Structure 1
Amino acid sequence: MNTVMADNGTFYYNIQGTAEGTSYNIIYQDDEDRDFQPAIEALLVQFEKSLSVYDETSIISRVNRNEKIETDYFFQTVFNKAKEISNLTEGTFDISAEPLFRAWGFSSQEKHIPNEAQITDLKQHIGMDKIRIENNFVIKSNPNIVLNANAIAKGYSADLISLVLEEYGCENFLVEIGGEIRLKGVNTEGQAWRIGIDRPSEDNPIPGQNLQVILQITDRGIATSGNYRQFYIENGQKVAHTINPATGYPVKHNLLSTTVIAKDAITADAFATAFLVAGVEKALEWINLFPELDAIFIYDEAGEYKMYYTPGIEENLILST
């Protein structure tokens, strides 16, 4: 646990670790000099036992194997939120699309391009309308349905950690897990937190190395999705990580990065993915339907980076290139 003295003489603490197949970074202010890492890691262990596809004994892994297993509060919260946002975004956000990611080689070691017949077959097992929770148990319309909640679970875990910090009386903190963020209060300088949004370039592999914009904001959840770092080349064809559940194919449009600012990170996380799948035109249409959300869309126009941001965060942008 690292310690930093703030401008007002109080102490901020920084803890880091790994969870959910990624890393976490937490900064918090506490007048009592307490180390919250043990409590946070205990929570994350419990969370992974519910929703981690990397843990073969987790609830979601057992559901995917069609074992009879009762779901818990974490699983049900994520599942219900995923279904809600799937309905709001015409199915572009879909945690049942995991078979497509596996087929395209993004959830396995083997990279390959499936044929049309394979995709047509897989699409029969995809859709949030084909799965529900009844009496705490998952009911599938087809045993081949497989779930992966990574596109929403990291945001939710950031929210859960923020609740832990609030229960301990922390008024100022930043929680980041796998790039999804929850903020409260002020930073060590007594100002709103500053969050860098990366320039969505293939030659920008290190997060924070080359920024497109800096967002100064607090008391919100923030998530960014992009496909410029997750892709492979097969037979001269670029295969992007972002797959449209409706078509079964990786998206091919000019939207490179989406950042969503919401009341909590679980909402921001799911919408950021949905907007990236939908593309610029649909994302611009949808963002006007959800006044509780703000967003930054970075897209390519004739080889140049262009940026759209909602009016509600204009005053929060402190650097733009």
Structure 2
Amino acid sequence: MQRILTLLLIIFFAISCSQIQESKYIENSGRAQGSTYQIKYESPEGKDFGDDIEAIFKRIDLSMSTYVPTSLVSTVNKGDTLVQVDTLFMEVLNRSLEIAEETNGDFDPTIGPLVSLWGFGFEELRQDVSPQMVEQTLEKTGYQHIQVKEDSVKVPEGFQIDFNAIAQGYTVDYIAEYLESYEAVNYMVEVGGEVRARGVNQTDEIWRIGVDKPSEEIDAEGRFQFILELKDKALATSGNYRKFWVDEETGARYSHTIDPQTGYPAKNSLLSASIISDSAMDADAYATVCMVKGLEECREFLNAKDELEGYLIYDDGSSNWGTYVTEGFEEFVVN
């Protein structure tokens, strides 16, 4: 009788544990990195990783946010001194330098002074930028001037590293890989519009992601340019249709995407670029590269990169939108 009772207790305990550890879908959302985030995942043991995710945001901000005065990047940007940085910083810097080399400077992590000059950094919007000011500021940019010695980084005085075109994508990857380390195989991680998805959602369907039309205002009824099913891939979109300023005297419209080589906001017909890649960090950076290159150069670039797919929206010159979509990207689009 005692053996039977013991066996029953063991069975009851096992059943109780299995119920406690039953997987379930969890959602965490909020604000971070100057934007919003939405993260959904099937937690194998039902654990809510919300606090861990908040801690990840804080760790990345302390490493790479120029809006945090005590961050590592802010310390490096004080200039002319080697600063020991963490592994997060080095991962993003190394990938930034690789993409800068690959794109011949269309992507440049030292663009910070130009971003501030044109009013998209800490300063108020600038409408008095002169060619001389641009020329002087360009002298304080150039990724080739970043010095790396083991785990320490230095830039010349007046230079500023700016990871804003790649850090959110990196954050998405970091959180996704953190969830995977706890055996989460179904998730969708979105931060500031950059997305990475794996597996299926709570209704056992591939994650569906909508990308806004390139309009200054959001139309609630018909807001999406397209909807795609994203599985085991990452997506990032860069656009010039909401973040810009207009010169009151000339009426010229300046986008927030700065061409690192000219020092001026990129001027071309491209309104937005959506890039699919294996990593959100790459998708984020290459979407910015496309906005700098413009339509024709971006088309050539994408056709030469088997690991990238793209959806480009451009002004066709007659107040209408044109689109260019790679064959691989079309396979993801469902509406």
Q: Assess same fold via TM > 0.5.
A: yes
User: Structure 1 CA distance, aligned partners of 2:131 and 2:331?
Assistant: 47
Q: Answer yes or no: is 1:17 the counterpart of 2:17.
A: no
Q: Answer yes or no: is 1:201 the counterpart of 2:215.
A: yes
Q: What do you get for the CA RMSD once the two structures are aligned? A: 1.7
| Alignment check: 8 A CA contact 1:197 1:212 kept | yes
What is the aligned counterpart of 1:64 among 77, 97, 108? 77
Q: Answer yes or no: is 1:295 the counterpart of 2:307.
A: no
Shift of 1:187: 1.6
What is the aligned counterpart of 1:216 among 223, 229, 246? 229
Q: Percent identity?
A: 38
User: Structure 2 CA distance, aligned partners of 1:133 and 1:194?
Assistant: 41
Shift of 1:68: 4.3
Seen in structure 2, the aligned counterparts of structure 1 residues 209 and 63 have a Cα distance that, compared at 3 Å, is farther
Q: Which residue of 2 aligns with 1:129?
A: 144
1:37-61 deviation per Cα after TM superposition (whole angstroms, max 9, x unaligned): 1111112211111101111111001
Seen in structure 2, the aligned counterparts of structure 1 residues 41 and 309 have a Cα distance that, compared at 3 Å, is same
1:245-271 deviation per Cα after TM superposition (whole angstroms, max 9, x unaligned): 111111221100001111110111100
The list of structure 1 runs, each at least 4 consecutive aligned residues, that deviate by more than 4 angstroms after superposition, is none
Q: Secondary structure at the match of 1:25?
A: strand
What is the aligned counterpart of 1:138 among 122, 143, 153? 153
What is the aligned counterpart of 1:30 among 43, 54, 58? 43
Q: Secondary structure at the match of 1:260?
A: strand
Corresponding pairs, count: 309
Q: Answer yes or no: is 1:317 the counterpart of 2:330.
A: no
1:169-318 alignment to 2 at 5 Å? 169-204=183-218, 210-235=223-248, 236-301=251-316, 302-318=318-334
Larger radius of gyration: 2
| Alignment check: 8 A CA contact 1:21 1:54 kept | no
1:73-117 deviation per Cα after TM superposition (whole angstroms, max 9, x unaligned): 011010011111111112111121111111111113422231011
**56-65 or 111-120: which moved more?**
111-120
| Alignment check: 8 A CA contact 2:311 2:324 kept | yes
AA aligned opposite 1:198: D
**72-81 or 31-40: which moved more?**
31-40
What is the aligned counterpart of 1:163 among 161, 177, 195? 177
| Alignment check: 8 A CA contact 1:125 1:144 kept | yes
| Alignment check: 8 A CA contact 1:296 1:308 kept | yes
| Alignment check: 8 A CA contact 1:20 1:54 kept | no
User: Structure 2 CA distance, aligned partners of 1:285 and 1:200?
Assistant: 22
Shift of 1:144: 1.2
Counting strand residues as a fraction of each chain, which structure ranks higher?
Answer: 1
User: Structure 2 CA distance, aligned partners of 1:62 and 1:10?
Assistant: 43
Shift of 1:128: 0.9
User: Structure 2 CA distance, aligned partners of 1:197 and 1:305?
Assistant: 15
User: Structure 2 CA distance, aligned partners of 1:54 and 1:11?
Assistant: 36
Seen in structure 2, the aligned counterparts of structure 1 residues 130 and 205 have a Cα distance that, compared at 3 Å, is farther
Q: Which residue of 2 aligns with 1:6?
A: none
TM-score in terms of structure 1 length:
0.92
Q: Which residue of 1 aligns with 2:161?
A: 147
**209-218 or 270-279: which moved more?**
209-218
User: Structure 1 CA distance, aligned partners of 2:166 and 2:304?
Assistant: 21
Q: Which residue of 1 aligns with 2:16?
A: none
1:33-44 alignment to 2 at 5 Å? 33-44=46-57
Q: Which residue of 2 aligns with 1:5?
A: none
**197-206 or 95-104: which moved more?**
197-206
User: Structure 2 CA distance, aligned partners of 1:51 and 1:163?
Assistant: 19
Q: Which residue of 1 aligns with 2:125?
A: 111
Shift of 1:11: 3.4
AA aligned opposite 2:320: E
Unmatched 5+ stretches in structure 2: 1-21
